[in-house]
Amino acid sequence: MKIALAQQNYHIGNFELNTKKILDGIDRALTAGAELVVFSELCVCGYPPRDFLEFNDFIAKCDEAIEAIKQKTGKIGVIVGCPVRNSRKEGKDLFNAGMLLYKKEISGTAYKTLLPTYDVFDEYRYFEPSYTWNVIEFGGKKIALTVCEDLWNLSDNPLYRSTPMEQLIRQKPDLMINISASPFDYDHDDDRKEVLRANVQRYKLPLIYCNTVGSQTEIVFDGGSLVFDAKGNIMHEMKYFEEDFVMIDTNISSAEVVQNSKITLEDLQHLDKEMRVAKVKDPEKIIDYLTDENNIKQIYKALVLGIKDYFGKMGFSKAIIGSSGGVDSAVTLALACKALGNENVRAILMPSQYSSGHSVSDAEQLSKNLQNPYDIIAIKDIYDSFLKELSPLFKDMPFGVAEENIQSRTRGNLLMAIANKFGYILLNTSNKSELATGYGTLYGDMAGGLGVLGDVYKMQVFALAKYINRDKEIIPQHIIVKPPSAELRPNQKDTDSLPDYAILDKILFQYIEKRQGPKELIAMGFDPAVVARILKLVNTNEYKRNQFCPIIRVSSKAFGVGRRMPIVGKYLS
């Protein structure tokens, strides 16, 4: 059977656009001579639709889109993902469905069984799990059609009590097709391949896996759709972080193998756990892992796509950034120029009396290298006017955090004023290390419409800067090598308030991503006082992060929708 895979970038709730993409994909498949074309999970409405699913009108528009797509299926089978109403009164009102459309009819439907509620997922809030499992017959083949998570229950510590394929395999299917919306994180793509391969090894069937691509606010989908033969060899691996289309024939010869399988099912069942333990077993290797060249390359592509789609899908084209001469703003500026075009990114340099001369010259050189527009607005006079008006209240109290934050909030006000005046979106430059420890000013340097580096540790920011400079110097070397500083008081350094980032990031990674407690961290060799201090900073600053803008997610545990902590909790604070 000739099957086409259409890996596409959808827009949540944009039914006209999504339907057109799907119809165009069908036309392309027909032209190529495909008998069946496969799209991704909830492609009709975009993923994740969240509370849009609670509106009857939204579901009605999904139904209308299916009707339009059905009209194209006279000569070709089409597998799409769409929410479907539950006819039973018991349970949730909807199913997350994969549908086979053929000859202008719905020829088969598979409802998602395993509904994730961890991290960024909240599917059981909306969907009812399937209670029936049947193969779908098409083109003389029996297809075991599943939806995303349905294939993710094969580890030695399964999250769910049942596995849909265990039901479907009894009906002797000829191949598996899985439609998916699997989010990106830099620790995920290899694991995803092996989980899928584990299904092939267990059920001895070829697998066609179609993933979505594109960014939906904070969640990035990286594509990378896959085709496996029945031996677990990868026959096709589609592009990452961009749309793609491929034609396959289920009668594939072994000569066409892209990647051979050299691993057994027994190995696969323990692989995920072993891989993750190995990556963090030695604390001294954590930074090497976080800054691994392949991880940084993926993070770079994910952030560029995240910025591009956020602006494109929101209807904006121009960004504004506070350019301080530091590495965070430099990396953010370079990423934004790549995503939006250098002419569409405006940098604002806002030196104070505490700014070093090289900070301004470094920031200027950066914009000259990137060829993006920039302006310089000194803030000393504005800052002094604040202090003058506050002097009756402040009296003779010594200089402190309040005065430092006035500078930051002055900059935030200027950036937002320019953004409002000219229709820009302010890109925030705070990194994950700063957000974790509360090292930032609410309504100041924490202002913005999108957090670009909020899921990137400081040591990873340095690695990104080096990656950006891989072919030529874009970010001035002095920005990369100088000690980080907020420059809000004379001779200020980040290390005045925080441990060295090489130590800080190790502890933060173990605590945030790996959920290791103080005893485990101390057992790894970290100083008990430093551990207690850092964990307290993380937990007492939850209120700040709760007021922060959306963050592009690139890790397995990002601040935002995937991490839910109480603000008033006492634990470790």
The tokens for 136 are 């779908």
CB within 8 Å of 131: residues ≥ 6 apart: none
Cβ contact 98:109 at 8 Å: yes
CA 91-93-95 angle, 5° bins: 95
Tell me if 114 sits within 8 A of 120, measured CB to CB.
Answer: no
Token digits of residue 355: 């700014």
Q: Give every strand in the sheet of 450-451, ordered side by side.
A: 374-376, 345-349, 319-322, 425-428, 450-451
380 is catalytic: no
How far is the CA of 363 from the CAs of 129, 296, 347, 549, in angstroms? 54, 23, 9, 24
CB count in 10 Å sphere of residue 157:
8
**CA proximity to 331, closest of 284, 280, 296, 361:** 296
Q: Of 112, 308, 338, 432, which residue is the catalytic one?
A: 112
Three-state SS for 101?
strand
What's CA 97's distance to the chain center, in Å?
Answer: 23
Say if residues 306 and 9 touch (Cβ distance below 8 Å). no
Beta strand segments in 103-173, E: 105-111, 136-138, 141-147
CA angle at 309 for the pair 149 and 59, rounded to the nearest 5°:
55
Task: Establish whether 41 is a catalytic residue.
Answer: yes
β-strand 2-7 against 244-249: which pairing, if any?
antiparallel
Cβ atoms of 369 and 334 within 8 Å: the answer is: no
Task: Determine contact, residues 534/508, Cβ cutoff 8 Å.
Answer: yes
Query: What DSSP character marks residue 104?
Result: T
Using CA atoms, how far apart are residues 516 and 149, in angstroms rounded to an integer? 26
For residue 304, the tally of other CB atoms under 10 A from its CB is: 22
Please choose, from the candidates 41, 50, 44, 245, the residue with its C-alpha nearest in 3D space to the C-alpha of residue 148.
Answer: 41
Structural Rg of the chain based on CA atoms: 26
Which whole-number Å values give the CA distances from 553 to 220, 441, 535, in the listed order? Answer: 7, 22, 22
Question: Any alpha helices (H) in 204-285, and if so which ranges?
Answer: 265-280
Give, rounded to a whole angstrom, the gap between the first and last alpha carbons of the chain. 60
Phi–psi pair at 175, nearest 5 degrees: -155, 160
C-alpha–C-alpha distance, residues 38 and 145, integer Å: 11
Residue of 43, 62, 148, 337 with catalytic role: 148
Q: Is 112 labeled as catalytic in the residue annotation?
A: yes
- Asked if 39 contacts 181 with a C-beta cutoff of 8 angstroms, the reply is no
Which of the following is catalytic: 41, 149, 404, 487?
Answer: 41
Q: What b/e readout covers 239-266, taking b as 16+ CB neighbours within 10 angstroms?
A: ebbebbbbebebebeeeeeeeebeeeee
Active site residues: 41, 112, 148
